[in-house]
Amino acid sequence: MSVKMNHHTAGEIVPRHIAIILDGNGRWAKRRGLPRTAGHAVGSENFRKIALYCRDIGVDYLTVYAFSTENWKRPSDEVKAIMRLLGKYLHEAIDTMERDKMKMRVFGDVTGLPKELQDLVAQTNEISKRYEGFQANICLNYGGRAEIVQAAQRYARDLAEGKADPELTEELFSDYLYSSGIPDPDLLIRPGGEQRISNFLLWQCAYSEFYFTDVLWPDFSTDELDKAIAVFRQRDRRYGGVKA
Ligand code: IPE
Ligand code: IPE
Ligand code: MG
């Protein structure tokens, strides 16, 4: 069972793991006559708010898609602005995460990020080792296919060195993914109006419930999250079986 009873709201089911594609920042800014980067700035602030809310309502894991392996295609000024904002976010997280009891993990090819960001990620990993609790996973330079390929490569290497069981199971393979040890997302939310997966968590969302909304990420409030969770509660998760 991958959902748990919430301690905060009288026996209501809360998804144990929520994943969100942070989409719509650019359009949010454009509608206000602002540069796209202004949308990224507000979107980044919104992440902090939603993450703390998830923690408070009893979600165990929040995984967000912040920068994909495909997003490097964007104009270099926009990419630079996003990297700067990520740096700012990580700096602030380093100062507050222990107080906020928020662990953090980065999914993606960290070696492809600017050196300053790599150092900040290493620091957040270090801090996260000190306590247990709510965990935010931030997908940076992340692609679902790239994740599966790197997992296959690492498994092959371990196998050649006699360090891996030659009997490859789904469970064993999952250990080679960035999400190793973390249950699959129960609820996957995409704000911003697009109804596609854009190379996010291809392996992990095999049985996730999808929720799409036209609300743009900078406008995605805690009320919107409550709405998504309410819809999730109405879903009948059968995992290929039949209802009891
Ligand atoms: C999501 O917002 C943030 C990133 C992909 C980095 P977008 O920048 O994709 O916003 P839209 O889709 O253009 O509105
Ligand atoms: C998905 O959004 C990636 C992130 C939010 C990081 P995109 O804006 O890049 O996706 P597409 O281009 O609409 O598929
Ligand atoms: Mg987009």
Instruction: Tell me how far the alpha carbon of residue 118 lies from the centroid of ligand 3, in angstroms.
Output: 24
pLDDT of 223 over the 50 cut? yes
Vertex 7, ends 1 and 243: CA angle to 5°? 30
pLDDT (tens digit per residue) in 132-169: 999 999 999 999 999 999 999 999 999 999 999 999 99
| Ligand 2 neighbours (beta carbon < 6 A) | 21-23, 65-68, 71, 194, 196, 198
Question: CB of 144 closer than 6 A to ligand 1?
Answer: no
- Express each pLDDT in 170-211 by its tens digit: 999 999 999 999 999 999 999 999 999 999 999 999 999 999
Residues 77, 85: Cα–Cα separation, whole Å: 12
Maximum C-alpha span of the chain: 58
pLDDT at residue 63 tops 80: yes
**Catalytic residue of the set 6, 71, 125, 199:** 71
Domain positions in the chain: 3-143+183-234
Instruction: Over range 52-66, report the average pLDDT.
Output: 98
**Residue 219: nearest ligand to its CA?**
1
CATH node for 3-143+183-234: 3.40.1180.10
Pick from 28, 47, 71 the residue to mutate for probing ligand 2's pocket: most ligand atoms within 8 Å of its CB: 71
Q: Could you tell me which residue, 8 or 186, shows the higher pLDDT?
A: 186
25 lines ligand 1 (CB under 6 A): yes
Residue bearing the CA closest to ligand 2, atom 1: 198
Whole-number pLDDT of residue 12: 81
Q: What pTM does this model have?
A: 0.96
Per the annotation, the verdict on 25 as an active-site residue is: no
82 lines ligand 1 (CB under 6 A): yes
